[in-house]
Amino acid sequence: MRPMSRRNALLLGGLGTAAIAAGGAGLWWTLSSRFAPEAGGDFTEPEQLRSSSGRLQVRLEASAGSMQLGGQQASVLGYNGGVPGPTLRLRGGDVLAVDLVNGMAVPTNLHVHGLHVSPQGNGDNVFNVVQPGHSFSYEYRLPADHPPGVYWYHPHHHGMVADQIFAGLFGAIIVEDAQPVDVSRERVMVVSDITLDGSGTVADASPMDRMLGREGELVLVNGQSNPKLSARPGERERWRIVNTCVARYLQLRLDGQQMQLLGMDSGRFPTPRNADEVLLAPGNRADVLVTAVAGDATLRAVYYNRGSMAGMMGRAGPAPNGGQRSGDLVLATLSVSGAPAAPPPAVPARPAPRDLRTAAVAARRQLIFAVGGMGMGMGMSFTINGREFNASRTDTTVAAQTVEEWTLINPGPMDHPFHLHVWPMQIVEEQGQTPGPSVWRDVVNIPANGQVRVRISFKDFTGRSVYHCHILDHEDQGMMGVIEVR
């Protein structure tokens, strides 16, 4: 186990150093041993906060503390004393007002991932910085026609994003359907990963972790290890699944159960699609219907090969750590028994989403995601179009109310999930294949040695924002650019 760095000691407000000061052979054992979670407790969810009369006023305090993870106490970060933070439930046209209080020893801020809201002023403006001991009042106004779905919030202070999310700062946002889907129950499932030492303190990331994109040893759902869910045969549940992991891909399976996909990110299909498995890149979300079948089943993340840096480093075979060898993981267990429920009604059809393939294109661009050389004093460079992130530089200038086509190119040996703030993207070509119906995402995975073409409608808002790789260690090391719409 790596010793705690000054960076992590500051991040956790000295919680880890308090243990280090104790000394003794017993302490050495706890620091060098592994955290032992308690698995199998009943499934629980974070507190849910709902808007009323068109507004949701929330106070979020980001702070270090002793919080329960995997059934044990751990020294981590959380919003309002918990991991995940509260779930925020909104409707199209609502105002979300957040007073962010920084109770940590390092700067932070807030990003509402996937929401189509203004990036200016106190909106979804990642250039704002909230210093330790200070607060900032954000206000996000959702358009009346904002797409329903599952979104999330997390810090976005450059250079510290991966550390702060890995340590526990994240929470879900739900934008409700105008016409609800009839289900027996709805569950919010926030999936995260973390590595803790035997004392329950967040482990430091090594230079190799940061280069590959770290994957935690402990994978949790709402802060729980393999929680238990129960249902009756025939009941239909709605699972809102968020991948908040810094670098881990989740290829989800629920064998033996009937699983249908309502949509991903802000994209929603006109009718549910049958799905044997669902792939969530870091930052992606899935809106899933599960119709229960008698028996026991596990929600698993099966192996997904996101590539390796081994070839670039003169080694044969996959690089260790960073998730390149990760196998199947059990996330939760579903037990279905009892009297069968009445068949659920059909899901109301939704209008087909807008299709930009017939739109006039104002500009075409290429974004090339590259790793190599030396950069930012931290080892290898992580660039978009050959440049590392610079907050004072604008990399892409776009005319408001136009449609652009971007070709996202990844010449490297590892996948890069691409995220554009504020404006969702329509995938028009993946690896030379054209999707049938419209496919919308705000995180688009670019496979190793591959490319994806997307179209974007820069409507509704102007201002400066960012796009970046959502392997958050890569973002922190420079794989991010600034966009200005005007």
Instruction: Note whether 104 and 64 are within 8 A (CB).
Output: yes
CA distances 137 to 160, 218, 423, Å, are 21, 33, 23
Distance between CA atoms of 448 and 41, rounded to whole angstroms? 38
Q: What is the pLDDT of residues 37-56, one digit of tens each?
A: 889 999 999 999 999 999 99
CA 415 to chain centroid, in Å, comes to 16
CA separation for the pair 242, 245 (Å, rounded): 9
Residues 6+ apart with CB under 8 A from 121: none
- pLDDT value at 483 more than 90: yes
Question: Is the dihedral angle over the CA atoms 384, 316, 247, 6 positive or is it negative?
Answer: negative
* Helix and strand totals (H; E) in the chain: 6, 31
Side-chain-facing half-sphere of 347: CA atoms under 13 Å: 25
- Average pLDDT of span 249-276: 95
Which of 201, 198, 127 is closest to 166 using CA atoms?
A: 201
pLDDT tens per residue across span 383-426: 999 999 999 999 999 999 999 999 999 999 999 999 999 999 99
Q: Which residues contact 270 (CB under 8 A, 6 or more apart)?
A: 349, 350, 351, 352, 437
Which of 4-8, 185-189, 378-382 ranks highest by mean pLDDT? Answer: 185-189
CA-to-CA distance for 43 and 65, rounded, in angstroms?
A: 23
- pLDDT for position 317: 38
Q: Which residue has the higher pLDDT, 175 or 431?
A: 175
Mean pLDDT value of segment 339-366: 94
What are the tokens at 89?
């439930």
Residue 178: burial class (beta carbons within 10 Å; 0-12, 13-18, 19+): exposed
Q: What domains sit in the chain, N to C, each tagged with a CATH number?
A: 6-175 (2.60.40.420), 185-336 (2.60.40.420), 356-485 (2.60.40.420)
| pTM of the complete model | 0.93
CB contact set of 373 (below 8 Å; sequence gap of 6+): 380, 381
Q: What is residue 11's predicted lDDT score, i.e. its pLDDT?
A: 77
